[in-house]
């Protein structure tokens, strides 16, 4: 990092223009109430990512959405580190939609794929370093001194003779200087922020109730709407009777929109009462036949036929045919809802000459373009104001822009600002799930028990098919369907991973860790089966098969050592391990579990080792590992969206439960020091959880459960006690 870098003019535009009229509106979200909208102080904006105010404030304009993963702290830390400003003076502002704020790889503004730090580090470091160089130049000119005689510290330029000027004092002068072509980045040895556990900038607003989420946005004259939605995917509206709905005081309108029938009121409660009073009938269509049981039968049959190859190494079929011994198993994982605590919502102010969208989104550009299409306005007339996200997990990164489109559709009819709110049941039932996956997997062993061959057939819906990301599907293989399986690192001479991508009426989406959320469970569970079937220790077998993968080995050994692998456990407890690489990071986890007589699994302890390369904020790493583990435990123990007669059988947290505090195990996170390129951190903590727990369940009870969630009935059945 410590090198002279030729600056790219594309991101060094002076950006008063690039920000345009959005600047003021974007200013107040999400940290303060919109009523308190204030003009930013005059100052210095050397590039699109930061502004130094005449009051010494440093505003980082953040193109990534804050959904809990910490980007409103980690990304400003990168800027502030190079700028050498006073951390106490750093503020964050959500970026408007503009090409400069596009994801550096995805081509539009997106927060996802655990990429924020990885993809933004360089340009944010340059943004900070450039501003610093210009502030130094401004001070040097003021003093008629050489820039080389000046250093910077905590928002001040300091001359070697002791003279000082603050960044606030220098802002106006710096803003008149040319942007330098070259800047020097700091030697990491001199970092004062990066690598340190800095407190989150958004914490104060989040603990005193002033943080603004999408659902909190209030606009003058705003209406609130809820939508009666089809009970079955693909159903169409037949007719509705709104007499009783309109009789609810406060209900202003009942309108048919493509998403269903919207009940519009002056407040949420009357809108909901109105919806309850509405009589709607639907043409349910073929979706009404959908059932999880039938889908399982179809997928199991498909898994017995060859799919499209995603990985071919050696000749797996031939090797399997002549293996001394074969093991075979079938695994499945259900549809899962993201279930962010803040139900989906979107507030739209649509006028003849423009449209303002207020929502917590991970895909600003796509949502803006969708709003433009639906409203008929040109995209430049649509502004997206990104609020805090009350959880994202992928659900707010929807290429279909479903929650934005439906709000614009309602706004078109209402003619006033309107906020569409989903109830928890709407949120759970309206689709966009982690796909249901069915896997058939086989291993061929030689006479000594050596793993000669691995054949893994995956069946499940493609996430990218039918979306703007469809072009990323190569030769029929959606990478997100096979990631974590096709790239298995284990040294096996013959490997075949193939894929079936059946279509279903159920909308699917990336769910925290995407394909890895299912492949890690299958691969790591089945490898454990191989270990036990051949009397190998699961850690020792992995160690042997990962000999050429030092980062996998590093976390494997660390997790095993910290967990006390191989040491005696209290009676009834078992340990299981899983190791997985995803999003550029390497994670191993050891679970310690017990099972009671009723078959209920209790997870007592999770030990996690993570190697995510160079680190910005170690506390964020720990927090995201804890978060991924709790998220993964919910999926391992409880999560399932199922269908009967085309209907989602779950609705609220009573039948789609989340792990609770009293069920949360002791969690330890150990970070491997690393100078490798940074890896992702929001998602990779999730994949190893379910296999570590399932493997621990096996050692604790002898029950090998190959279907998530690990419910009591399945555990008892696997123990032969059902």
Partner 1 sequence: MLTLDVNGKKHEVSVTPDTPLLWVLREELQLIGTKFGCGEGICGACTVHVGGHPVRSCVTPVGNMQGKEIVTIEGLPENHPVKQAWLDEEVSQCGYCQPGQIMTAAALLQGKPAPSDAEIDSAMGDNLCRCGTYPRIRKAIHKLAAEPKGGSK
The residue written with tokens 């994801």 in the block is 103
Among 21, 36, 188, 249, binds partner 1 (CB under 8 A): 249
Closer of 339 and 579 to partner 1 (Cβ): 339
HSE-CB of 550 using CA atoms within 13 angstroms: 4
Q: DSSP secondary structure string, 128-185?
A: HHHHHHHHHHHHHHHHT--GGGEEEETTEEEETTS-EEEHHHHHHHHTTSPPPSEEEP
Task: Give the integer Cα–Cα distance in Å for 125 and 115.
Answer: 16
Whose tokens are 């349910």? That residue is: 284
What's the rounded Cα separation, in Å, for the pair 501 and 499?
6
3-state helix, strand, coil split of the chain in percent (to 5) is: 35, 25, 40
Is 88 a residue that touches partner 1 (CB under 8 A)?
Answer: no
Quote the CA–CA distance of 578 and 475 in Å, as a whole number: 31
Tell me: does residue 653 bind partner 1 (CB under 8 A).
yes
Q: Give the total of residues touching partner 1 (CB under 8 A).
A: 61
Q: Which is nearer to partner 1, 412 or 424 (CB)?
A: 424
Nearer to partner 1, 76 or 392 (CB): 392
Nearer Cβ to partner 1 (465/671):
671
246: contact with partner 1 by CB under 8 A: no
Using rule CB under 8 A, residue 291 touches partner 1: no
For partner 1, the binding residues in 537-596 under the rule CB under 8 A are none
With CB under 8 A as the contact rule, the residue among 340, 538, 599, 688 that binds partner 1 is 340
| Near partner 1 by CB under 8 A: residue from 629, 641, 681, 693 | 629
Nearest approach, Cβ of residue 661 and partner 1 (Å): 4
Quick check: 267 binds partner 1 (CB under 8 A)?
yes
Cα separation of the two ends of the chain: 59
**Residue 553 in contact with residue 561, Cβ under 8 Å?**
no
- Residue 91 is a binding residue for partner 1 (CB under 8 A): no
Do residues 1 and 125 lie in contact, with contact meaning Cβ atoms separated by under 8 Å? yes
DSSP 125: H
Q: Which residues in the 55-74 window bind partner 1 by CB under 8 A? A: 66-70
Residue 395 in tokens: 């659900």
- 652 scored as a contact of partner 1 (CB under 8 A): yes
> How near is the Cβ of 104 to partner 1 at its closest, in Å?
24
- 72, 66 contact by CB (below 8 A): yes
**Binder of partner 1 out of 10, 14, 199, 322 (CB under 8 A):** 199
- 202 contributes a contact to partner 1 by CB under 8 A: yes
By the 10 Å C-beta count (0-12 exposed, 13-18 middle, 19+ buried), 69 is classed as: buried
Confirm or reject binding of residue 638 to partner 1 (CB under 8 A). Answer: no
Give 42's Cβ-side CA count (13 Å radius).
Answer: 7
| Stretch 699-718: interaction string toward partner 1, x if CB under 8 A | --------------------
Residue placing its CB nearer to partner 1 in the complex, 122 or 423: 423
Q: Minimal distance in Å, beta carbon 313 to partner 1?
A: 37
Identify the residue among 38, 148, 447, 661 touching partner 1 (CB under 8 A). Answer: 661
Could you tell me the smallest distance in angstroms from the CB atom of residue 651 to partner 1? 9
Q: Taking CB under 8 A as the rule, does residue 397 contact partner 1?
A: no
User: Interface with partner 1 includes 392 (CB under 8 A)?
Assistant: yes
Contacts to partner 1 from residues 601-620, by CB under 8 A: 619
The torsion region of residue 73 among left (phi > 0), alpha (psi -120 to 50) and beta comes to alpha
Q: Tell me which residue of 124, 137, 179, 181 sits closest to 13, measured CA to CA.
A: 179
Q: Judged by CB under 8 A, does residue 667 bind partner 1?
A: yes
> Per-residue string for binding with partner 1, 404-443, x by CB under 8 A?
-----------------x-xx-------------------
Separation between Cα atoms, residue 585 and residue 610, nearest integer Å: 7
Asked if 45 interacts with partner 1 (CB under 8 A), we say no
Task: Tell me the angle at which helices 116-143 and 167-174 cross, rounded to the nearest 10 degrees.
Answer: 90
Does 671 participate in binding partner 1 (rule CB under 8 A)?
A: no
Tokens of 322: 């002549």
- 659 touching partner 1, by CB under 8 A: yes
Cα angle 462-516-114, degrees, rounded to a multiple of 5: 100
**Whether the Cβ atoms of residue 595 and residue 703 lie closer than 8 Å to each other:** yes
What minimum distance in Å lies between the beta carbon of 578 and partner 1? 18
Binding to partner 1 by residue 269, rule CB under 8 A? yes
CB-nearer residue toward partner 1: 68 or 584? 68
Cβ atoms of 11 and 47 within 8 Å: the answer is yes
**Binding to partner 1, residues 215-244 (CB under 8 A):** 215-216, 218, 224
Q: Which residues bind partner 1 (CB under 8 A)?
A: 66-70, 199-200, 202-213, 215-216, 218, 224, 249, 267-269, 339-343, 388-393, 421, 423-424, 619, 623, 626-631, 652-654, 658-664, 666-667
């Amino acid at each position: 990092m410590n090198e002279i870098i030729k600056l790219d003019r594309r991101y060094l535009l002076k950006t008063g223009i690039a920000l345009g009229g959005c600047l003021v509106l974007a200013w107040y979200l999400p940290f303060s109430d919109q009523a308190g909208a204030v003009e930013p102080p005059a100052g210095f904006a050397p590039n699109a990512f930061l502004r130094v105010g005449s009051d010494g404030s440093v505003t980082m304009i953040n193109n990534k959405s804050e959904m809990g993963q910490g980007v409103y702290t980690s990304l400003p830390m990168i800027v502030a580190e190079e700028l050498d400003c006073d951390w106490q003076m750093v503020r964050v502002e959500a970026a408007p939609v503009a090409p400069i704020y596009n994801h550096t790889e995805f081509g539009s503004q997106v927060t996802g794929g655990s990429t924020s730090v990885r993809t933004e580090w360089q340009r944010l470091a340059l943004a900070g370093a450039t501003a610093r160089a210009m502030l130094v130049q401004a001070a040097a000119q003021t003093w008629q001194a050489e820039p080389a005689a000046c250093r910077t510290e905590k928002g001040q330029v300091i001359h070697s003779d002791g003279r000082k000027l603050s960044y606030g004092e220098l802002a106006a002068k710096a803003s008149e200087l040319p942007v330098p072509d070259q800047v020097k980045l700091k030697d990491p040895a001199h970092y004062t922020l990066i690598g340190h556990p800095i407190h989150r900038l958004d914490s104060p607003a989040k603990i005193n109730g002033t943080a603004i989420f999408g659902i909190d946005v209030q606009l003058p004259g705003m209406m609130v709407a809820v939508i009666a939605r089809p009970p079955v995917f693909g159903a169409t509206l037949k007719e509705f009777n709104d007499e009783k709905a309109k009789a609810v005081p406060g209900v202003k309108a009942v309108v048919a929109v493509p998403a269903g029938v919207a009940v519009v009121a002056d407040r949420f409660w009357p809108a909901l009462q109105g919806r309850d009073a509405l009589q709607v009938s639907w043409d349910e269509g073929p979706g009404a036949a959908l059932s999880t049981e039938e889908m399982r039968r179809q997928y199991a049959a498909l898994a017995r036929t060859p799919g499209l190859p995603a990985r071919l190494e050696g000749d797996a079929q031939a090797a399997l045919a002549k293996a001394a011994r074969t093991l075979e198993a079938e695994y499945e994982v259900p549809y899962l809802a993201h279930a962010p605590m803040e139900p989906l919502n979107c507030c739209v102010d649509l006028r003849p000459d423009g449209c303002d969208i207020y929502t917590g989104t991970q895909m600003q550009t796509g949502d803006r373009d969708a709003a433009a299409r639906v409203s008929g306005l040109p995209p430049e007339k649509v502004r997206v104001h990104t609020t805090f996200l009350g959880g994202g997990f992928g659900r707010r990164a929807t290429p279909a822009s479903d929650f934005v489109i439906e709000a614009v559709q309602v706004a078109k009819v209402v003619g006033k600002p309107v906020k569409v709110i989903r109830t928890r049941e709407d949120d759970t039932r309206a689709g966009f799930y982690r796909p249901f996956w069915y896997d058939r997997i086989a291993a061929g062993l030689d006479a000594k028990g050596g793993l000669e061959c691995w054949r893994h057939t995956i069946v499940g819906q493609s996430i990218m098919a039918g979306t703007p990301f469809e072009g990323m599907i190569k030769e029929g293989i959606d990478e997100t369907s096979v990631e974590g399986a096709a790239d298995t690192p284990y040294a096996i001479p013959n490997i075949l991973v193939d894929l079936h991508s059946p279509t279903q009426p159920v909308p699917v989406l990336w769910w925290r860790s995407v394909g890895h959320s299912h492949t890690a469970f299958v691969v790591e569970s089945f490898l454990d089966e191989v270990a036990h079937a051949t009397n190998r220790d699961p850690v020792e077998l992995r160690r042997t098969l990962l000999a050429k993968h030092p980062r996998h080995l590093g976390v494997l050994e660390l997790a095993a050592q910290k967990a006390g692998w191989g040491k005696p456990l209290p009676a009834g407890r078992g340990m299981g391990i899983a190791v997985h690489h995803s999003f550029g990071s390497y994670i191993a986890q050891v679970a310690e579990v017990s099972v009671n007589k009723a078959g209920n699994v209790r997870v007592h302890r999770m030990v996690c080792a993570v190697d995510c390369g160079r680190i910005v904020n170690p506390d964020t790493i720990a927090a995201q590992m804890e978060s991924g583990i709790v998220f993964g435990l919910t999926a391992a123990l409880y999560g399932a969206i199922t269908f009967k007669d085309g209907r989602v059988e779950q609705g609220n947290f009573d039948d789609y439960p989340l792990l609770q505090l009293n069920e949360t195990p002791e969690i330890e996170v150990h970070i491997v020091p690393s100078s490798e390129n940074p890896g992702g951190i929001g998602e990779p903590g999730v994949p190893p959880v379910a296999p570590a727990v399932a493997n621990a369940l096996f050692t604790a009870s002898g029950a090998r459960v190959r279907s998530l969630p690990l419910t009591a009935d399945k555990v008892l059945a696997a123990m032969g006690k059902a």
